[in-house]
Structure 1
């Protein structure tokens, strides 16, 4: 098992590093994106970028330093920073660019007080804050993978006579953007086709798209915000018929997620929750842009007698977009996963294939695969811990490199940089210790029965958030 974990470490770490290295520059000539609402955080970021090369002078009397997170729940809820992606700082030109990029941080070039240094760290951390994911997300993931377990108390997670899976796919204009040599839409089409072809016979599938009419211009908003169609009504999977329907989809318009959920409820209306296990997957690369409330629409679907499981996949979504998509998943007790490329999307859809195979065995032979689930849970727990620790290392190192460059440029003294380095290291040691603790506890609980493990995990997580 140790060799398997070591191999998995490499599989997880290498793609993450490659993704970071691949985010060096935006390609010129990108198609126009779907219009997204401008958040206060985005406005603030734009103002920061446009400021002068001189550090921001702040009256020490006006400084109010916020405490660093003391729980992982607080950490998870922090907004993703505008500079959180990998920044190259190897060559002289790259270092000069980084110094200019962060020139508007608070001015500590003189003889700053401890309070001023702490305030500086608060601001540089805000800019580089990564997207941490708390253990509750892993709990939801393990719950989904335990679908069909006789210990499950929620009836929507019990295997029923029929398994119905509906994909609700974003076809807004931003889906034409590049995501590793192919457009997001082309990747989504490829992986959805592969995923559905791997489902066991007897699984019913459906495909609904939205935002595929009009354009993302203001003049076409009304038309585009009314666009959602069921291209493949829920039925047994026919590869040629499904491919024909999916190939017609062209990304073009706005993002009416709320309308898509409302119509998905109608799509599933003939499949009540008593005899049907219903799973809905929303695949989107951004937030609702049609002035509606997608969280409310998702809740209405979730609370209906269809008893669906609703999961959300965010495809290369920015920080503000992730927040809304997470809110949808949280409101429906579903899983939110943010994927960056084709491999990530495939990995998420593979989880549904595993569920479908387990359902097929249950239907044919009444088999339960507890030992397989335990092994897979162990790998998922290990993967969760690795991903969180890689994020913490990236955030720590990026802040460290930026401060070193600012010291070289005379923007801070060596004494200030040493103090900030120690603060930075201590903070990220705490993050890694929290992750290590979660992983150990979850591994121990994985040896117990599902019901007992979930109860203890829930109690532990809730105690950490109070």
Structure 2
């Protein structure tokens, strides 16, 4: 009996101890659970607070977004948007679109006209394309008229010597494929075809950058410092030029300013008094070596070299196009975007026409003037085709953005209706702008060609039958 009581006491003690342990565990778990809940609540509140802080008020969000164009000049001057030229209504871009639009303040249930205008301004900024600039076409015509007796721009007057340099981007991205060939292969072919037709007395040079090292950070310093003149200045020799073209492949970084500095140094012996100096820069991207090629281009243009600097952007994105065009503008040169071999060849073909000797041009001057008018007609047709294509892309993408937002209930049916009306209004403006630009180009064409014929008649009346 005594042993049984002892056993019962031990059993009771163990049970009480176990109960205390379990109670302690439950208390700890509850405490931890409460702590986790508290932390979770705090985190949610913190995230909500951060989201609220990161999401700018409406007036701040819209302040740096460009206004929807309301004139021809504004249409041409608009900056390309995030989705410029991209197919908005595709599985690849829809997630990006919705993520982008999350940053914008949502439309209220019953927006005011101002709120609609602001929201549409934002959507338009996403779809805005880079319309071709008619001034670039006029510059091409002016360049094509090089050698006319009364050309006011000294750069376009024929001199005793003609010097041509091609600056070629050989950075890693030039390996990209276009129509089954790399961009580099297409560029090399077009350059060789162009220079092989240069006047026999012309001095020719080929300068490359980005052909050393790799695109890695550890190679950046070395790659950025290597700009090399692989040919010339010398008369074109096919065998030697082919050898120079085959001596490099795309691999590294993009030191555009460094290339321009090296070019300026090489051209320093060719002052504009006795030399016509032509440079073609072919690149598929922006400066990546911390230089400022846009600013240096102005210094180059203002020197006694007075070069004609024409820039070809090969399959460039919006940022590269903006930089390369600014570079060309700072030298009063021509910027052109090309996306394939045919367009690249066409740009060099324009230069081929200019690279005729003064005597050859003079002997057939009137025929040349008539031919230039025919070329101008084709140029205007090509311009309006490009403009129409960009207008269609922008309109379709803007429609796609609004429609997709409606399908995903980001905006209501009434919102969609109001935004679509604004889309149609801007489409009408863009269509009218195309007609106005075409009229202006035709007037400019006639003025330029008529002036050219007048100069020819006055200077070469003995050659007119």
TM-score of the superposition, structure 2-length normalised? 0.78
Cα pair 1:152 1:451 within 8 Å, conserved: no
Cα pair 1:175 1:251 within 8 Å, conserved: yes
Cα pair 1:176 1:251 within 8 Å, conserved: yes
Cα pair 2:208 2:228 within 8 Å, conserved: yes
Unaligned runs of 5+ in 1: 1-55, 454-466
Change (3 A) 1:372 1:95: closer
CA distance in 2, matches of 1:316, 1:310: 19
SS of the residue 1:448 aligns to:
helix
| Aligned equivalent of 2:78 | 78
The alignment status of 1:355 with 2:354, answered yes or no, reads yes
Residues 358-437 of structure 1 mapped to structure 2, 5 A cutoff = 359=358, 361-362=360-361, 365=363, 367=365, 369-437=368-436
Matched residue pairs, number?
A: 395
Which deviates the most, 150-159 or 194-203? 194-203
- Measured on the aligned residues, the alpha-carbon RMSD in Å equals 2.7
Unaligned runs of 5+ in 2: 1-53, 453-465
CA distance in 2, matches of 1:138, 1:116: 39
| Aligned equivalent of 1:129 | 128
SS of the residue 2:382 aligns to:
helix
Q: CA deviation at 1:108?
A: 3.3
Change (3 A) 1:61 1:354: closer
Q: CA deviation at 1:98?
A: 7.4
| Aligned equivalent of 2:144 | 145
| Aligned equivalent of 1:460 | none
SS of the residue 1:153 aligns to:
coil
Change (3 A) 1:222 1:64: closer
Q: CA deviation at 1:227?
A: 0.5
The alignment status of 1:298 with 2:304, answered yes or no, reads no
Q: CA deviation at 1:245?
A: 0.4
The alignment status of 1:447 with 2:446, answered yes or no, reads yes
Cα pair 1:234 1:268 within 8 Å, conserved: no
| Aligned equivalent of 1:283 | 282
| Aligned equivalent of 1:191 | 190
Cα pair 1:213 1:227 within 8 Å, conserved: yes
Cα pair 1:60 1:116 within 8 Å, conserved: no
Residue-by-residue CA offset, 1:152-183 (whole Å, 9 max, x unaligned): 11121112233221100111122122233322
Change (3 A) 1:108 1:57: farther
Which has the larger helix fraction? Answer: 2
Q: CA deviation at 1:406?
A: 2.4
CA distance in 2, matches of 1:99, 1:261: 39
Q: CA deviation at 1:296?
A: 3.1
| Aligned equivalent of 1:438 | 437
Change (3 A) 1:64 1:191: closer
Q: CA deviation at 1:427?
A: 0.9
Cα pair 1:207 1:233 within 8 Å, conserved: yes
| Aligned equivalent of 2:167 | 168
TM-score of the superposition, structure 1-length normalised? 0.77
| Aligned equivalent of 1:310 | 309
